[in-house]
Each structure stands twice: as C-alpha cells, then as structure tokens.
C-alpha cells in the first residue's frame, strides 16, 4: 500500500475535541456537525475509504453511510471457538 497522506491531520476540526463522540452511534450527529465545519472533510473521508475504516464518523459519514456510498465493506473479524 502506498503511504497515506496525513498532512491534513493538523487542520482537523476534531483535533481538540473529545474524539470518542466520533465512535458512538448516539453522538454521531454531534460529530457530523463538527465535520460540517471542518476544512479537511474531503481528505478525511478519502482517508477513511482508503483505509477501510470500519468504525466512526469520518468526513461527515459514519461507517454504514460509507459502505452504502462507496461499497466499502467492513472487514469482519471472526473468532473461532473450538
């Protein structure tokens, strides 16, 4: 995999927020409101798609929305119990 561009990280509107709100369904609207004011929303969404992020809000989209829009299927980890 090519090295991913992370130069936009310092411009993230969520940088100084409680990022846990981006990983809870109950607060996804709050997270998306922060994304709406973010200067690097497009870069962030591309990053999430490129890295097949399975959780969280990135670029104002949650994982289900990314899967629907881009066909990015979450990698499912299975534990086999003998």
| Binding residues vs ligand SF4 (CB under 6 A) | 12-14, 22, 34-35, 38, 40-41, 44, 57-59
Query: CA torsion 14→2→64→70, rounded to 10°?
Result: 120
CA geometry: angle at 17 spanning 23 and 21, to 5°? 20
CA geometry: angle at 24 spanning 52 and 28, to 5°? 85
CB of 21: closest distance to ligand SF4 in angstroms? 10
Residue 45 or 80: which CB sits closer to ligand SF4? 45
Residue 17 or 74: which CB sits closer to ligand SF4? 17
CB of 75: closest distance to ligand SF4 in angstroms? 20
């Amino acid at each position: 995999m090519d090295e991913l561009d992370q130069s936009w990280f310092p411009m993230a509107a969520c940088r100084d927020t409680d990022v846990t709100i981006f990983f809870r369904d109950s607060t996804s609207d709050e997270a998306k409101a922060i994304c709406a004011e973010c200067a690097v929303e497009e870069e962030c969404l591309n990053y999430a798609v490129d890295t097949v992020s399975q959780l969280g809000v990135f670029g104002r989209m949650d994982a289900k929305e990314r899967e629907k829009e881009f066909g990015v299927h979450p990698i499912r980890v299975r534990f086999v119990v003998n």
